[in-house]
Amino acid sequence: MPPIVSIDELADYPDAVIADVRWYLDGTDARAVYENGHLPGAIFIDLEHDLATSAKGPTAGRHPLPDPDAFAAAMSSHGIGDDSVVIAYDDTGGMTAGRLVVMLRMLGRNAALLDGGINQWDGELMTGPGVIPEQLDFTPCAWPLDRLATEDEVAAVAESGHGLLLDARATERFTGEVTQIDPRPGHVPSAASAPWSANVDPQTRRFRPAAELRARFNDLGVSRSDNVITYCGSGVSACANILAMEQAGLPPARLYVASFSGWSADPDRPVELGPER
């Protein structure tokens, strides 16, 4: 299944589970937003509770991956089974829905991001709490280590320069001009600024064509590295970079889940301020 599908391609997946994965950094109640209007038949996935855990300490970042059993239980409760096709959407161009898609694709499940999200839907929205889906069997699977990067592996790239670190946050957070909610400002040393939002055409609010995405990532150095790691603030928006690379026909980058929220919480880890070197 391709990593990104258009609104017109929804008809090609009539049995797909449509997942609403809206979430807001400012604390807006995403569940309330969902109940105020969502795609017909869509289920609500809570990023904080279904796609992350809070039980792992500050250096694990704000959104560590849940244990495999907990993730399997969450998916099962939402009517997502081993053979389900999942198409996820949000209202930010893929910033949060990409997290669910990447997690499922890592485990070999069929999942894709709805290009442009709910903003592409021109039909009537459904309101209310949604239906309670039938629980399906979702087999717990260990997170594949070859798709993830540890803090030490990130440090090795930062120190040696052998490899490529892509920071998916906005430029002002990368440079340290805006700290927002990370413990310290700046970025991981040697990282390149690669805002996830640059994958999206501001006019259409959809991902850029594959050729443009491929050129963008190759300009960042992806074609010259066999060790590409992407991160963001907490391992969420960086997933949009992973999907964009796959859409471009490039090997997916590894995800540093703890990202800068975890890195900057460790006083022994250095940070850099200002533009990239």
> Tens digits of per-residue pLDDT, 35-48?
999 999 999 999 99
> 228 is written with which tokens?
């590409």
Q: Which of 25, 70, 24 is nearest to 49 (CA)?
A: 70
Report whether pLDDT(180) > 90: no
93-136 per-position pLDDT tens digit: 999 999 999 999 999 999 999 999 999 999 999 999 998 899 99
Strand 85-89's sheet: what is its strand order? 4-5, 110-114, 85-89, 17-20, 43-44
- Please report the domains of the chain, with CATH numbers, ordered by start residue: 4-120 (3.40.250.10), 145-263 (3.40.250.10)
pLDDT at residue 179 in the model = 84
In whole angstroms, how large is the CA radius of gyration of the chain? 18
pLDDT at residue 73 in the model = 98
234-262 per-position pLDDT tens digit: 999 999 999 999 999 999 999 999 999 99
- In degrees and rounded to multiples of 5, residue 167 shows phi and psi of -95, 115
Query: Mapped to the 3 state alphabet, what secondary structure does 40-81 carry?
Result: CCCEECCHHHHCCCCCCCHHHCCCCCCCHHHHHHHHHHCCCC
- In degrees and rounded to multiples of 5, residue 13 shows phi and psi of -130, 70
- Residue 173 and residue 169: Cα distance in Å, rounded? 6
Report whether pLDDT(58) > 80: yes
- Residue 115 and residue 128: Cα distance in Å, rounded? 24
Share of the chain above pLDDT 70, in %: 100
- Residue 152 and residue 239: Cα distance in Å, rounded? 20
Question: Could you confirm whether 239 is annotated as catalytic?
Answer: no
Report whether pLDDT(11) > 70: yes
pLDDT at residue 57 in the model = 87
Report whether 77 contacts 46 (CB < 8 A). Answer: no
Task: State the chain's mean pLDDT as an integer.
Answer: 96
232, 243, 257, 271: the catalytic one is: 232
pLDDT at residue 159 in the model = 94
Alpha-carbon dihedral 180, 184, 188, 193, rounded to 10 degrees? 20
pLDDT at residue 161 in the model = 84
- Residue 204 and residue 222: Cα distance in Å, rounded? 26
Confidence band of 181 (pLDDT split at 50, 70, 90): confident
> 177 is written with which tokens?
């001009």
Report whether 199 contacts 210 (CB < 8 A). Answer: no
pLDDT at residue 257 in the model = 98
The number of beta carbons lying within 10 Å of the beta carbon of residue 141 is 14
Where do we find the tokens 């890592």? 106
Query: What b/e string do you get for 241-271 counting C-beta neighbours within 10 Å, with b at 16 or more?
Result: bbbbbbbbebebbbbbbbbbbbbbbeeebeb
pLDDT at residue 277 in the model = 65
Average pLDDT over every residue of 55-64: 90
pLDDT at residue 231 in the model = 98
